[in-house]
Amino acid sequence: MKEKICREKMDLVEKLGVHLENREQLAPFAARILAYIILTGKIGTTFDDMVTILRASKSTISTHLNHLQDLKKIVYITKTGDRKRYFIINKDLIVQYIDAMINEWQEVKALHLEIKKYKETINTQKIINEEEKFDLNFHNDYIKFLDEASMSIKQLRENQFNI
């Protein structure tokens, strides 16, 4: 059972790593390290564990860990009586993702409101033929979706991070 979970975890490390590599524009191995740390959770993982499990050289692991720390994507904790550093995801990172998502959605909403206003003006002032009028349903629905999604993610942020 433990072997199956480990295999599933490593498969997921690869999938999440590819996603993070593209989304975060990280080096492939840095993305895999970040994925592994995310999937290890709040207990954290040590440098030695990553060398063994991810099968990479110490210099490779060290270089990418330092880079991820510089980017503030990970931090380390120490445990009483243990000299090792345990790497965990930076909790602020998730809040930053949520805030960036909300900001992007607000920018998209403002653009759609402006486009909708332009199309409404054209519909009322310039177009005589009913068939040539712009259909505004998409903009109305998309703006409503953005409002609801923003409200939902703000609620998630509040519930999870008490912010």
Q: Does residue 78 share a domain with residue 32?
A: yes
Backbone angles phi, psi at 77, to 5 degrees: -125, 160
- Do 57 and 122 sit in the same domain of this protein? no
Q: What is the CATH number of the domain that holds 52?
A: 1.10.10.10
Determine the structural domain holding residue 104 and report its residue range.
Answer: 92-161
The DSSP result for 26-58, as a single string, is --HHHHHHHHHHHHHGGG-EEHHHHHHHHT--H
Q: How far apart are CA 7 and CA 18, in angstroms?
A: 17
Residues 79 and 110 placed together within one structural domain of the fold: no
Encoded tokens for 23: 């989304």
Domains: count for the chain: 2
| Nearest residue to 47 (alpha-carbon basis) of 26, 68, 27, 28 | 68
Chain segment 60-71, per-residue pLDDT in tens: 999 999 999 999
Strand runs labelled E in the chain:
45-46, 74-78, 85-89
**This model's pTM is above 0.85:** no
Listed residues 89, 113, 132: the one ending a domain: 89
- The residue behind tokens 């996603």 is 19
133 and 68 together in one domain: no
CA gap 29, 18 in Å, rounded: 10
Beta bridge partners of 74: 89
Task: Report the alpha-carbon distance of residue 36 to residue 54 in Å, rounded.
Answer: 9
Question: Of the candidates 46, 63, 89, which is a domain's last residue?
Answer: 89
Residue at which a domain ends, from 89, 110, 137: 89
Alpha carbon distance 11, 5 (integer Å) = 10
Domain co-membership, 81 together with 145: no
Kindly report, residue by residue over 115-163, the tens digit of the pLDDT: 999 999 989 887 678 888 899 999 999 999 999 999 999 999 998 887 6
Same domain as 126, residue 63: no
Q: Encode pLDDT of 80-107 as tens digits.
A: 999 999 999 998 888 988 999 999 999 9
